[in-house]
A and B are shown apart, each in its own frame.
Chain A
Amino acid sequence: MTRVARLRAGLALGAVALAPQPAAAHLVGVEFGAFYAGALHILMAVDQGALLGAFALLIGLQSRKDGRWALLTVPAALFAGAAATAVLGTTWPGDAAAGVATIAAFAVLGALAAARACLGAGAVALAGTLVGLVAGVANGVAARGGAVDPWLYAAGVAGAGAVALTLGSALAVAGAARVPVLGIGYRVVGSWLAAVGVIALGLAVAQAGG
């Protein structure tokens, strides 16, 4: 190849490489977009983070044998709650009611952690189901209207929620086992979450009342 031919080939390659392409900043063109939308929805909301965090703290204060039940029930309930709300598209609960239920749930979990409640396997499983349903419905509310595939969206919510809870509770359990004083810290943070929930509920009700 002559020097001129190599130069032409290089310019052609450079032109192809620099040719403008459609921007792909959003996942709408990807088949799995609804999945990521669901995953991000539960991970990016402060109230959802507080709910999963409060439950992880409570699991950290239980025995490992009892705590494992939450890891079974929460993902299933998350999927059921998100899918039912997104597929059925019911007008109830509204955004505000779902938010209030989430705040009330983490306030109760925080109070249980502050009281160092030992729940037992059955109560952990029941609490996991309720937490999953509340969080699932609160996330499913955003997917009503048919803009996204509700099944993929619910799978994203359940998958991301399960990973977050598993990592959070594993950290809490391992931390308490290695540094026993962390158990005291969990109780204090639990009381903070309970107090935040009570204040937020009071303020939300006051704002709703005008």
Chain B
Amino acid sequence: MPKIRFSTTPWLIAVIAVLPGAALAHTEVGVAGGLLSGFLHPMLGLDHLVAMVAVGLWGAQLGAPLLVALPITFPLMMALGAVLGVAGVPLQGAEIAIALSSIALGAFVVLAWRPNQTWVAVLPVAFFALFHGHAHGVELPVAANPLAYGLGFVVATGLLHLAGIGIGLLNTRAALGARVVRGCGAAVAAVGMTFLLSHLTAVA
């Protein structure tokens, strides 16, 4: 009769897999809940995430003073858009505008577009930030601590800009840096195009 061999490893994995975890059925409230909720909001939407990174990428390509002006403009205009969303002021075609923001900002990075005037670069960023803020504003959790939510939301946005700036600094500091940055811009535009087609298909 053949001898049956038992290995403890599969059993151990099975036991760990069926261990009960803590149920998270409720929205977290209070300062910690508001902070977490606000921080995750821009991170969990790919269309928002790539556009915010693209702002940093383009700012790094353009250098001072737009390296600072773009990451300052975006959160301020996004906050105004969020207030419009909270107040229930409608912005038509917000989702399409958000997809277009990724396409446009990605294209600016791919083309390494350098506007002659500062305001020419600030204007599209401010315009698109309004729609990003509005989209978040209409989904703001009513139970969240307002200050903590705002703090998490803005810090996450700022960190995404910083991530873009960090990648964008490769533009002048690495042999293939400019190509890598442009490649990232192309990826951002491709994500935007995917979202645009998805929205247009849904509308049709």
Contacts and interface: CB of A to CB of B under 8 A. Distances in A.
Contact of B87 (A46, A202, A207): A202
Given A46-B147, A103-B147, A192-B154, A202 B75 contact: no
A191 B72 CA distance: 6
Contacts of B80: 198
B33 interface: no
Q: How large is the interface on A (under 10, 10 to 19, 20 to 34, 35 or more residues)?
A: 20 to 34
Interface residues of B, number: 28
Interface string B103-124: 0000000000000000000000
A41 to B, nearest CB: 16
B160 to A, nearest CB: 12
Please classify the interface of chain B as helix (H, G, I), strand (E, B), loop, or mixed, using the class held by over half of its residues.
helix
Nearest to B140: A203
A196 interface: yes
Given A114-B76, A188-B68, A191-B75, A200 B155 contact: no
Interface string A44-78: 00110010000000000000000000000000000
A106 to B, nearest CB: 10
A197 interface: yes
B167 to A, nearest CB: 17
B83 A201 contact: yes
Contacts, number: 85
A195 B142 contact: no
Nearest to A191: B72
A202 B72 contact: no
A27 interface: no
Interface string A170-210: 00000000000000100110011011111111111111000
Nearest to A190: B72
B177 interface: no
Contacts of A205: 86
A200 B158 contact: no
Nearest to A184: B68
Contact of B151 (A46, A114, A184, A191): A46
18 contacts: A187-B68, A188-B71, A192-B75, A192-B155, A195-B75, A195-B79, A195-B150, A195-B157, A196-B153, A196-B154, A198-B76, A199-B83, A199-B146, A199-B154, A200-B149, A203-B86, A207-B142, A207-B146
Given A194-B76, A195-B76, A196-B150, 18 more contacts: A46-B147, A46-B148, A46-B151, A47-B147, A50-B147, A111-B76, A187-B68, A188-B158, A192-B75, A198-B80, A199-B146, A201-B83, A201-B146, A202-B87, A203-B146, A206-B87, A207-B142, A207-B146
Interface of A: 46-47, 50, 103, 111, 114, 184, 187-188, 191-192, 194-207
